[in-house]
Structure 1
Amino acid sequence: MKVFIIGISGAVGGLLTESLSTRDVAVAGLVRRDDQRAELQARGVDAAVGDIATMSPNELAAAFSDADAIVYTAGSNGGARVITKAIDGDGVATAIAAARLAGIQRFVLVSVLPESWRERDLGEDVEYYFAVKKEADVAVTRSDLNWLVVRPALLHDDPAKGMISLGPAEFHGDISRQDVAETLAELLCEPRIGRQILELNTGSTPIRDAVRANVRQR
């Protein structure tokens, strides 16, 4: 299997690359600069140079090459609205169209588990970020791809615990980026999970067991 990561130079994307490599899964990705490409190639990872905010579906489809699955981990982290719309909204639409053009069915979107304390004032930019993320989720779920939407809780850089809570509805909390990456890798290696929205939080179940528990019984 070969996985193409949009957002491979980000924190989760980089950790996912490492996790997939330990599973003998080939990885490629999209970066914005030549020096990022050179750094990845030195580690044996293929990369295409381009900006998801401005690329056409045809350009992105060509970058996908012979990938079997696409993972979209790029994100604006709730910054300026124009960037949020370009990356978290329009970029996802471009990636969906590119996957169709390239004939790639497996599509995993890393979304967000919104703050559940809705009386709290999060600020207009963060609320806009949540709204755009929701629109992207809808676009993915209405596509004809073999999609998977993963909504992790608040991310942090503490060491991985290896214990998660994963399912259609989870409480808002926090989780290490390493645990998110390991969960994504496990999900990508489980072909029986598809066309599902899964929320992800720190929990008490080993990652592999939590993933297998979400396999739908036929």
Structure 2
Amino acid sequence: MRVVIAGGHGKIALILERLLADAGHEPVGLIRNPDHADDIAAAGAVPVVLDLEAASVDEVAAVLAGADAAVFAAGAGPGSTAERKLTVDRDGAILLSAAAERAGVARIVIVSAMRADDFDPDSDDVFQIYLRAKSEADAAVRASSLDWTVVRPGSLTDAPATGLVAVGARLPGGSISRADVAAVVAAVLTTGAASRTQFDLTAGDESVAAALATLD
């Protein structure tokens, strides 16, 4: 399976690329900075330099041609402006989904954020803009013709993977390691679980497979 991952140099993406490569799949990591290409290759993926903030739908679709799935794991990152929350976290995801439709790539997985829909529409706080960006991106993807999955993890940590998670339409909150998020995304991609489903994700006490099975 060929999987194109936007935000290919992010922490979740790098773990996901290694998981997919080790399982015999063909991950492709989209990066804005060519200096990150060696890190992508070291994770077992093919690096492709493509700036989602500058690329057209056709340019992204050309990279997606022949892929089996796309993953949006990009983000403007800590310390970025409110404007870039919108141009990366929102517009980048919408661009990837539109390009996937154009390229005939039916499957897309979005890494979003828990409580994205609870943003304050009257606030100019950067975090509230971030939540708004995620919420609006998720809504656009859900409205698409794609076979989508929206994963909304809680607070992210760099702890090792545990393989134990909790999923649900609305969880009470919590944290989860980036490694476990990557494992869930890999499972969603390779098994077809959680098709056209949006769910919260935190650390829990069920295996990834068992937790995802509760969503079907």
Q: Normalising by structure 1, what TM-score?
A: 0.90
Cα deviation code 1:75-101 (max 9, x no counterpart): 124631111011011111211111011
Say which SS state the counterpart of residue 8 (structure 1) adopts.
coil
User: Once structures 1 and 2 are overlaid, which stretch shifts more, 104-113 or 201-210?
Assistant: 201-210
Q: Does residue 1:202 correspond to 2:203, yes or no?
A: yes
Please name the residue that 2:74 is paired with. Answer: 74
Structure 1 residues without counterparts, runs of 5 or longer: none
Deviations 1:62-86 (A, max 9, x none): 1123210000000124631111011
Aligned length: 213
Q: Distance in 2 between matches of 1:65 and 1:116?
A: 32
Q: What's the C-alpha RMSD, in Å, of the aligned pairs? A: 2.2
The equivalent of 2:97 in structure 1 is 96
CA contact (8 A) 2:65 2:104 kept: no
Give 1:16's aligned residue. 16
5 Å-filtered alignment, 1:40-189, equals 40-41=40-41, 44-77=44-77, 79-114=80-115, 124-189=125-190
**How far apart are residue 21 of structure 1 and its match?**
1.7
Cα offset, 1:25, TM superposition = 1.5
TM-score (norm 2): 0.91
1:171-205 CA-to-partner distances (Å, cap 9, x unmatched) read 21111000100111111112243111011011110
Structure 2, unpaired ranges of 5+: none
Do the aligned partners of residues 82 and 117 (structure 1) sit closer, same or farther apart at CA in structure 2, a change above 3 Å counting?
Answer: closer
CA distance in structure 1 between the partners assigned to 2:15 and 2:166 by the alignment: 20
Runs (4 or more) in structure 1 with deviation over 4 Å come to 115-118
- SS of residue paired to 2:202: strand
